[in-house]
Amino acid sequence: MQKEKPFYTYCDIEHWEGNWELIDGVPYLLASPSFEHQYVVGQLHLALASYFQARGCHVILAPFDVQLDPEEPERMAKTVVQPDLSVVCRVEQIGNRRMKGAPDLVVEVLSPSTALRDRNQKYYLYEKYGVHEYWIVDPSNRTIEVLSWQDGRFQQRAVFGPSDELVSFWQPDLTVSLAPVFPPEESDV
């Protein structure tokens, strides 16, 4: 007889040690990120901050809780994630300890421990809750995949490399030169 997995809510995990995400009641401990991961997150934050601040939006770094379903009572929430970067243009969504509802743009930087979750469960969550644009950054392959939400699903997709200038579908005047985003490869040093 197979044992049923326990189901958790935010009130169960809020005081646990470490940084946790909760996806459909399943808790995931977030590993300490690598230098490469943090380098990429930092460079993208620098690239996005002035563009979005000029438009009244906020670029939020992890760890910061995002409760995707704003209707769920906070302590009973069963899906609370911590995207590497979130862009939020509806400032009323942002509380002191978390934001409620889908960010406008989410950036996830893949690592060995999170890649499958970022490409699968989080992809479907961000699509379900209407994130306008989802950037999946793959530091190993030095690419950023841009997915744009339209009519209830991610419809447009483009992949950019380190010699490209990323162009947003959601904000077509947003361009990011990717050359400085990835740390130099050992052969580049």
Question: What is the tens place of the pLDDT at every residue in 122-180?
Answer: 999 999 999 999 999 999 999 999 999 999 999 999 999 999 999 999 999 999 999 99
User: CATH fold of 31-61+80-175, please?
Assistant: tt1808, chain A (3.90.1570)
- The set of residues, in sequence order, having a beta carbon less than 8 Å from that of 148 and lying 6+ positions away, is 132, 133, 154, 155, 156, 157, 169, 170
Q: How do the domains of the chain map onto residue ranges?
A: 31-61+80-175
Find residue 87's DSSP bridge partners.
Answer: 59, 105
Q: Is the pLDDT of residue 52 over 50?
A: yes
Classify strands 98-100 and 85-88 as parallel, antiparallel or unpaired: unpaired
Q: Is the pLDDT of residue 32 over 80?
A: yes
Selected residue with higher pLDDT from 185 and 142: 142
Q: What pLDDT, on the 0 to 100 scale, is given for residue 6? A: 75
Does the model's pTM come out above 0.75?
A: yes
174 token code pair: 């947003």
Indicate the pLDDT class of residue 189, thresholds 50, 70 and 90.
Answer: very low
Selected residue with higher pLDDT from 14 and 108: 108
Q: Is the pLDDT of residue 75 over 50?
A: yes
Question: What is the tens place of the pLDDT at every residue in 100-111?
Answer: 999 999 999 999
Say if CB 139 and CB 182 are below 8 A apart.
yes
Cα separation, 175 vs 162, whole angstroms: 13
Cα separation, 115 vs 29, whole angstroms: 14
